[in-house]
Structure 1
Amino acid sequence: MRFMLPSSVRANLLLVILAGILPMVVVILWTGDELRKKEQLEAEAGSQLICGSLASQQEAITLGVKQLLSTLAQLPEVQGLDVKKCSLLFENLLELNPHHGNIVLLNTNGDALASGRAFLKSNIMHLKHVADAKNRLEFSAGQYQVGSISKVPVFSFAFPVMDFSGRLVGILATSLKLDRYYAMFELTAMPPGTVFEVLDDTGVRMVRYPEGEKSRIGTPVSPNDWLQYFASVTPKGLKPYFEDHEGHSDHMDEDDARRHYISRQLRLNPGGPPYMIFTVGIPEAQIIAKADAVTIRYLIWLSVASLLSLATAYLIGKRGLVIPLKKMANTAKQLESGDLEARTGLEYLVPRRETWKSA
């Protein structure tokens, strides 16, 4: 089947111009797609850096807590369960470390003996970090809880207290306030709609910025999201800073916005289970918005230039081709009918005799 071109000279002229514009449209769309990929990689690299930085700060804090509790566990007044001296010591330490919710000394049954803050004597052996410290005889991490005294979200650690013979005589526990992460994340330059979360080992939100109607502090993430956070696939082009401790996933969030999440798992021991997970989620719409804005701007410029070209071609084609051809066709008909006086009126297109002579 042969492709039939329009019979109109003007239409063919416009087709030639459109054929020249089409490759430019293809180039702009291809460039826009490349810009999308570039923006996505840059946004992911930025969130990867922020997530890793915050997680590394927490690891340093956790190490400091371990050193603090292990040092306290060596003191004679702690090993001797001296309630008065320990309470005074803990109170002074809390003044120097305002991010700690409390420091508590427990007996081997989990009963609170000494505290840096006023407290009601109670048994907290049911808490994970206390039970793990007793059963495993090692530094242990807890889960999300609300401080019984401070009434704010905290995360706790515990350390076994051993006497000189290696016998367990007590347990030290301390809690950390989690509100500092909000101030830290507010200082980051992330796209609007970015979500930051800190989860415990059961998937309960300990920190959420910004807090949503369906994603409040103290509530668990969905089972699907929880599984996604354990993904350890690093997209092409991103450096796996934290190897298998870092995960990448794309899923719909509870506010119905699709985000790309980067998660970082924190462990007390290599190969052990994570005790805390940091996540940063970037909305896909925000990632590609900048690239799409550039593409749209280029397409608008091309559209304006194309309209000007078409208008110019229309006017020039009409005066330089269409009108002269019509006059020649009409003159040919007149000559054919015997009118030998017929003229096209296009003398201005014929070089003068003087021009021929000079040539």
Structure 2
Amino acid sequence: MNKVRSPGITEPVAECGGSGIALVIARRSLYTEKEVCVQGKFILSVRSALLLVTVSALLPALLIIIVSGVEHGRTLEQSVRAEAHRQVESITQVHLETVQAVQRILETLGALEPFQEDNRPVQTLVLSALLRDNSEIVNFAVTDNQGIVTTSPLLPTGTDLSDRAHVRNALGKGRFSAGEFVLARAGGIPSFPFAHPLRDATGAITGVLAVVYNLGDYRELFDRMTLPESNIVGITDNRGIRIFYRPENLANPVGVPIADENWRRMRDGEETGSFISDGSDGVLRYYAYRRVLLRASADPHIYVLVGVPEDVAAGAARRIIVRNVALMAAVLLLALAAAILLGDLVFSRGFRVLVSTAHAISEGRLEARTNLPRGRSEIAVLASAVDRMAVRLQKREEEKETERAILDRSLREKEVLLREIHHRVKNNMQMILSIVSLQQENSGDMVHFRSALESRIRAMAAVHEMLYESPDVAAVDVSSLLQRLAEMTVWIAPHTGPAPRILMKVEGGTSIFLSIEYAVPLALITSEVMTNSCKYGRNAEGAVEISITLDRVGDTFHLSVGDSGVGFPRKAGPPGPAEETGLGLQLVSALVSQLKGSLEFLNGYGHCSGAVVRVTFPVAEDRLH
């Protein structure tokens, strides 16, 4: 397997006295990321191993607790559902006892002589007395064999009850019959009716004795039963019309059909059964039901239904599972915390710090240190070796960075300088061409043409000569430049008599550096004015004394070049348009414009008694050096 190494990695490790652990850690820190991952599949840290063992030990117990909780929850769920079936049976029994009591009353009344002989006044007295004494009964009625009321405490004689199912069944089948949900004609109370046939002495059916039972009485009966508040109790007739519902709910009113799906399951199912479905109120429930028959061969006359919300039926199981899992999770967390604490107490953190530092160094973070206490232990010796290794690597890297920075800076300077040289060559060529063109137009003497052109080109060359001699190739020392120009002018400029004497003064110090874009025009201006002074600036004794002064006020420079001659042909001020015909003056004016400065022609200014040319120009701060 190939390994990525950095220079000098193994030398500090060797200083650990041949420690094998140090060499392993140092080498391991140099593996590539892929190799570390591959090794990580087989090598676990101490903490990871302790955590893995802890989890492995507790996981079977957790699974056992979960399985036991599920089984126990199922048992509780089955118990809740079984309780719903017991409640159905209890309610059914209460209803059947009520029906049997009603049947006995009707059979007893039917056996009395006034009802067999159709003694209507006595019937009215008896039925009225029973109605007063039994609040659960809405009304009694006696009909003939056509279902027409003949006697009733509340209904008028002649009321047709032949449309009632209980009356039809009693007349048609000749036996005690139950009806369907009705709103009693006497008072409009939700009721459930029953009927018993009346017979004469020969056994022939002469009519029906009917009773209407108040469904509100069921509430009092069921309130005396112990039913869970979350459970619902419903009773329907044989059409699926709800005749009772507890607790009262606007979504499940009495007198309307129950949900179609629930009615279908009860109607088509077994006599006793169960199902899970949404109720009319949208709640998912487990329903236990039973069809209630008056006799074995008869059709059911009501259906009893008890519903338990599914979250109640299964909630106990869920709560047990959640509780057990929470307890086990708490135990697991405590065990993991204990394992971590034990690992930190038993196994020093120093090993982890060493590995972390080695990885950091291998990733290029050479400032990483272990910062572990020094000592004679293996961890301390190894930490010291790793730190020394990191110091050496960091020092080498810093040296390389410094060298790279120097090389980059030098390369950038050379690139800038090369572009500047091309730019300068272009500008200088253009300026030389302009000077040649102007000189050619203004001079018919080839000797004078050659002398003037040489003077101007040498002034430009002096700037470049000083540039490559200067440590800063971007700027020129103005005082040195003016000194060199003075020497060249004395040597080149035409003059008679003694050599010109030049006095030069730079205010504010002798080291003012300007960039080439200022230095070249300034050199040409100075050369032109000095050449002119050498030609025309002799005093009465025939000597030429030239004064050059450069001073600076803020970012504004003032250059004054004057002589001791007779001065300009005027008192002061620049030559007029008609006088400004000389090439020198034209060139000076153009160069001042290039500097964005101003030009003055004076007589007797400063130390000079003759002609003085004063140039004022601004210099941007970034062009000063």
Q: Same fold (TM over 0.5)?
A: yes
Q: Which residue matches 2:308?
A: 282
- Aligned partner of 1:249 among 266, 271, 275: 275
In structure 2, give the amino acid aligned to 1:150: G
1:155 correspondence with 2:192: yes
Q: Which residue matches 2:48?
A: 11
Distance 2:346 2:226 in 1: 58
Distance 1:39 1:188 in 2: 22
In structure 1, give the amino acid aligned to 2:274: H
Q: Which residue matches 1:173?
A: 210
Q: CA deviation at 1:80?
A: 2.1
Q: What SS does the corresponding residue of 2:280 show, helix, strand or coil?
A: coil
Q: Which residue matches 1:141?
A: 178
Distance 1:205 1:327 in 2: 77
The higher radius of gyration belongs to 2
Q: CA deviation at 1:143?
A: 0.2
Q: Give the unaligned 5+ runs of structure 2.
A: 1-39, 356-374, 381-625
8 Å CA contact retained: 1:127, 1:142: yes
Q: Which residue matches 2:94?
A: 57
Q: Which residue matches 2:288?
A: 262
8 Å CA contact retained: 1:192, 1:286: no
8 Å CA contact retained: 1:47, 1:190: no
Q: Which residue matches 1:299?
A: 325
8 Å CA contact retained: 1:105, 1:170: yes
1:212 correspondence with 2:249: yes
Q: Percent identity?
A: 24
Q: Which residue matches 1:236?
A: none
Q: Which residue matches 2:400?
A: none
8 Å CA contact retained: 2:77, 2:316: no
Q: What SS does the corresponding residue of 1:220 show, helix, strand or coil?
A: coil
Q: Which residue matches 2:439?
A: none
Q: CA deviation at 1:204?
A: 0.3
- CA offsets, 1:264-314, max 9 Å, x none? 211122032100111101011012223322322222222222222211211
Matches within 5 A, 1:1-359: 4-5=41-42, 7-117=44-154, 119=156, 121-230=158-267, 245-323=271-349, 342-344=376-378
TM, length-normalised to structure 1: 0.82
In structure 2, give the amino acid aligned to 1:51: V
Q: Which residue matches 1:334?
A: none
Q: What SS does the corresponding residue of 1:221 show, helix, strand or coil?
A: coil
In structure 1, give the amino acid aligned to 2:53: V
Q: CA deviation at 1:132?
A: 0.8
The change in CA–CA distance for 1:190 and 1:303 in structure 2 (over 3 A counts) is farther
| Structure with bigger RCO (C-alpha 8 Å, 6+ apart) | 1
8 Å CA contact retained: 1:191, 1:287: no
8 Å CA contact retained: 1:327, 1:344: no
Distance 2:204 2:232 in 1: 46
The change in CA–CA distance for 1:90 and 1:253 in structure 2 (over 3 A counts) is same
Q: Could you tell which deviates more after superposition, 316-325 or 177-186?
A: 316-325
Distance 1:77 1:189 in 2: 43
Distance 2:379 2:46 in 1: 21
Distance 1:6 1:117 in 2: 96
The change in CA–CA distance for 1:96 and 1:76 in structure 2 (over 3 A counts) is same
In structure 2, give the amino acid aligned to 1:223: D
Q: CA deviation at 1:121?
A: 4.1
8 Å CA contact retained: 1:89, 1:116: no
Q: What SS does the corresponding residue of 1:148 show, helix, strand or coil?
A: coil
In structure 1, give the amino acid aligned to 2:138: G
- CA offsets, 1:118-150, max 9 Å, x none? 646410100000011111111111000111223
Q: CA deviation at 1:315?
A: 1.4
The change in CA–CA distance for 1:36 and 1:294 in structure 2 (over 3 A counts) is closer
8 Å CA contact retained: 2:288, 2:307: yes
Q: CA deviation at 1:187?
A: 4.3
The change in CA–CA distance for 1:116 and 1:5 in structure 2 (over 3 A counts) is farther
Distance 1:185 1:41 in 2: 24
Q: CA deviation at 1:174?
A: 0.4
- CA offsets, 1:144-193, max 9 Å, x none? 01112233211111111111112221111001111122233344444443
Q: What SS does the corresponding residue of 1:124 show, helix, strand or coil?
A: coil
Q: CA deviation at 1:55?
A: 0.8
8 Å CA contact retained: 1:9, 1:322: no
Distance 1:97 1:142 in 2: 20
The change in CA–CA distance for 1:71 and 1:35 in structure 2 (over 3 A counts) is same
8 Å CA contact retained: 1:144, 1:204: yes
- CA offsets, 1:65-94, max 9 Å, x none? 222212212222112222211010001122
Number of residue pairs aligned between Structure 1 and Structure 2: 323
In structure 2, give the amino acid aligned to 1:310: L
Distance 2:260 2:272 in 1: 19
Counting helix residues as a fraction of each chain, which structure ranks higher? Answer: 2
Distance 1:247 1:343 in 2: 79
Q: Which residue matches 2:615?
A: none
8 Å CA contact retained: 2:292, 2:300: yes
